[in-house]
Structure 1
Amino acid sequence: MSKEKRLTDVWTYINDRQKFTIKELSEEFNLSTKTIQRYLIELNKMGLPIQTEKGRNGGYRVLNNSYIPPVVFTEKEVMTILFALKSLQIYNYKLMEIEIDSIMRKVSYERKSSTRIGIENMKRYIGFVANDEAVKSSDVVEFFRASSESLILNIKYKFGNQVLEKNICPIGIYLNKGTWFSPVYDYKSDKIILIRIDKIIEIKKVGESKEVHISLNEWLETAYSNLYESILSIKKIGETICLNVLLTKEGVSKIKSSSYDLDIKLNEDGSGVINTFIKHEEIDWYVSILFSLGSDAKVMEPKFINKLLYDKADELRYFYEENMV
């Protein structure tokens, strides 16, 4: 067995223990006490914080058991890991900067290796523009912790021009086009709703949930499967679907002042409702109209049109971002 392999085995063994002695290691690995002492000195130089405890029941202990043994990476693997870490700049993750810088230093070499040159080139020639609507790292961490520990949170968050308050239990977090989302169990409505974490104003822990909710992967599969099936179900030319849209008073005014010939049922307060059947080939046309109305039109059915509107808004956002500089 090579010395590197024995060092790694000793590292793993002592890292899993709160306390150990030279004699214990000597018997475990069938090595002399002098060899074990040399190994401990080398492991300490490699970064494993080993502390000597004096006294009758003295010995050694690892100050922090979260250290992992050395892992051998290829140059391509190192560059892939560093590229992924650097890409986190786009999310304004100040919370990770210290750790990322530490990793960068550990994989750099004193000699002029190709890996070191690659790292320097990555710093010099690759940049990621931070998302202006960056979410607070602490909020993402809070939602992650609440998901993994089944915590009940009281949150206040922005919803349009309103500030809503809810008791929720997150089931996970996911990133979609630079924005963090969390499907959460809403205790008031007794169903899973989707929360944008960047809209959170305040978070408070109020308890622990004893209920088992759907997993994040199950929710994602169901959500996107339902969306896909809804689109497929109306793809036959000539087949119709029911379009139900709520219009504000301003939305009704915008449609009336335009050339769009839409059947609107008016309410007493001047707002209105579009309730009609449309064909698959007309969907893009209606999406364009609804997009021009902005927040003055709320699509109730079919739900997948909201996803089409979201994608259209996202395309426009990226268009303006690319042309800002």
Structure 2
Amino acid sequence: MAKSKRVIELMIAINQRKKFTARELADEFEVSIRTIMRDLQVLSELGVPLYTEYGPHGGYRVLRERQLPPITFSEQEAVAIFFAYQSLQHYGALPFAEESITALNKFYYYLPDDTKSKIDKMKQRVVFWTPKRQAPTPYLQSLLDAALQQQPMQILYDSKDGANQRTIQPIGVYSYNGYWYCPGYCFWKERYLLFRIDRVLSAEAAADGHRTVDLSGFSIMDWFKPPEEQPVIADEHIQIEAVLTSDGVRRCQWEAWNHTDMEVHEDGTGTVRMCIRPNEVDYFASYFLGFGPEVKVNQPAQLVELMQNLVAKMAQLYAPPK
């Protein structure tokens, strides 16, 4: 086997194990221990973070910041990957933000000049735009790490009732319309809630031994399913029914969130039937009011009454002076 090919395969092999010895690698690659030692020295000079442990039970370990083996791409794949990174450029905050910048710079630097030229031209014609929000999200990475480890977090959250301490267990994080959100189980309210991450004023790991909930079978994509289809949420559901004009249907179809439960009639009008959680009633009252006369909510009565109260307040606000 050629040395260059063996070094690449050696890099793949050591990335797949936590600990190894030179003898194990020599046997696997059918070369001498001296050859393996030279190859490991090459990998170390290339930046692979190897750690040597001495003694009868010693060997090698790869430190946490591992180097991945080289991967080849076609030109179209390279362009696609570059613009996948570029799609994140308008976000004010990202998990792994610094790493995404360095990865993009490395990737671009080693591209052929003609591929760089093609990408530079496309950058003037293609953009994945999202509103850039000014609100900082210093605990975005911490909440993502907690979701990965199923670790409860004690947070100070700026809710509409003021800042309050609570312990949550994050399901994951997602971005929508320039904001970052974290759905999770709130041990204070004893139900699943959605938190806007820029409103998290502090966050730290909960005390050892704090109760946890098993979220291993609940992915972040499950959060976007209708409540009755979600795998672990057993909250009470509220059924909404709303009738839309043809303009309301077009507006509804244009909105970013999914209206899979909207029925469009032959005349262009439509009916929305969907389930929501009780804590989402306030949000949908404001949302449907934004449609003006293009929507009429028929049920539930709780939502209709709330919208009537909001309309009455708006009428008072815009009433002519006496």
Q: Normalised by the size of structure 1, how large is the TM-score?
A: 0.61
Question: Which whole-Å CA distance do the structure 1 matches of 2:12 and 2:296 have between them?
Answer: 66
Shift in Å at residue 30 of structure 1? Answer: 0.8
Structure 1 residues 81 and 223, CA gap change in structure 2 (3 angstroms):
farther
Partner residue, 2:62: 62
Instruction: Give yes or no for the alignment of 1:218 onto 2:222.
Output: yes
Question: Which whole-Å CA distance do the structure 1 matches of 2:140 and 2:24 have between them?
Answer: 43
Partner residue, 1:254: 317
Instruction: Give yes or no for the alignment of 1:168 onto 2:156.
Output: no
Q: Which amino acid in the other structure matches residue 79 of structure 1? A: V
Q: Normalised by the size of structure 2, how large is the TM-score?
A: 0.62
Instruction: Give yes or no for the alignment of 1:139 onto 2:152.
Output: no
Partner residue, 1:49: 49
Shift in Å at residue 239 of structure 1? Answer: 9.7
Kept in 1: contact 2:48–2:66 (CA 8 A): no
Question: Which whole-Å CA distance do the structure 1 matches of 2:221 and 2:18 have between them?
Answer: 36
Deviations 1:40-81 (A, max 9, x none): 343234332335667787755434463322222222222222
Structure 1 residues 212 and 49, CA gap change in structure 2 (3 angstroms):
closer
The unaligned stretches of length 5 or more in structure 2 are 230-238, 241-258, 265-269, 273-294
Partner residue, 1:189: 189
Partner residue, 1:88: 88
Kept in 1: contact 2:151–2:212 (CA 8 A): no
Q: What is the DSSP-based 3-state SS (H/G/I as helix, E as strand, rest coil) of the residue aligned with 1:133?
A: coil
Kept in 2: contact 1:91–1:134 (CA 8 A): no
Question: Which whole-Å CA distance do the structure 2 matches of 1:56 and 1:239 have between them?
Answer: 75
**Could you tell me which of 271, 280, 286 is aligned with 1:235?**
271
Q: Which amino acid in the other structure matches residue 212 of structure 1? A: D
Tell me the percent identity: 27
Question: Which whole-Å CA distance do the structure 1 matches of 2:34 and 2:113 have between them?
Answer: 35
Question: Which whole-Å CA distance do the structure 2 matches of 1:201 and 1:239 have between them?
Answer: 36
Question: Which whole-Å CA distance do the structure 1 matches of 2:28 and 2:136 have between them?
Answer: 49
Structure 1 residues 95 and 170, CA gap change in structure 2 (3 angstroms):
closer
Question: Which whole-Å CA distance do the structure 2 matches of 1:159 and 1:111 have between them?
Answer: 47
Partner residue, 2:234: none
Shift in Å at residue 31 of structure 1? Answer: 1.8
Kept in 2: contact 1:169–1:209 (CA 8 A): no
Kept in 1: contact 2:131–2:177 (CA 8 A): no
Shift in Å at residue 108 of structure 1? Answer: 4.3
Q: What is the DSSP-based 3-state SS (H/G/I as helix, E as strand, rest coil) of the residue aligned with 1:90?
A: coil
Larger helix fraction of residues: 1
Instruction: Give yes or no for the alignment of 1:244 onto 2:248.
Output: no
Kept in 1: contact 2:85–2:104 (CA 8 A): no
Shift in Å at residue 96 of structure 1? Answer: 4.2
Q: What is the DSSP-based 3-state SS (H/G/I as helix, E as strand, rest coil) of the residue aligned with 2:134?
A: coil
Deviations 1:182-231 (A, max 9, x none): 22222333221221112222223324433225723333112598774775
Deviations 1:15-44 (A, max 9, x none): 344554443322121123454344334323
Partner residue, 1:209: 211
Kept in 2: contact 1:108–1:115 (CA 8 A): no
Higher Cα Rg, which structure: 1
Instruction: Give yes or no for the alignment of 1:27 onto 2:27.
Output: yes
Question: Which whole-Å CA distance do the structure 2 matches of 1:230 and 1:107 have between them?
Answer: 42
Aligned length: 257
Instruction: Give yes or no for the alignment of 1:75 onto 2:75.
Output: yes
The unaligned stretches of length 5 or more in structure 1 are 259-325
Q: Which amino acid in the other structure matches residue 31 of structure 1? A: V
Shift in Å at residue 251 of structure 1? Answer: 3.8
Q: Which moved more, 1:47-56 or 1:154-163?
A: 47-56
Q: Which moved more, 1:31-40 or 1:194-203?
A: 31-40
Question: Which whole-Å CA distance do the structure 1 matches of 2:214 and 2:18 have between them?
Answer: 34
Shift in Å at residue 172 of structure 1? Answer: 1.9
Kept in 2: contact 1:49–1:63 (CA 8 A): yes
Shift in Å at residue 179 of structure 1? Answer: 1.3
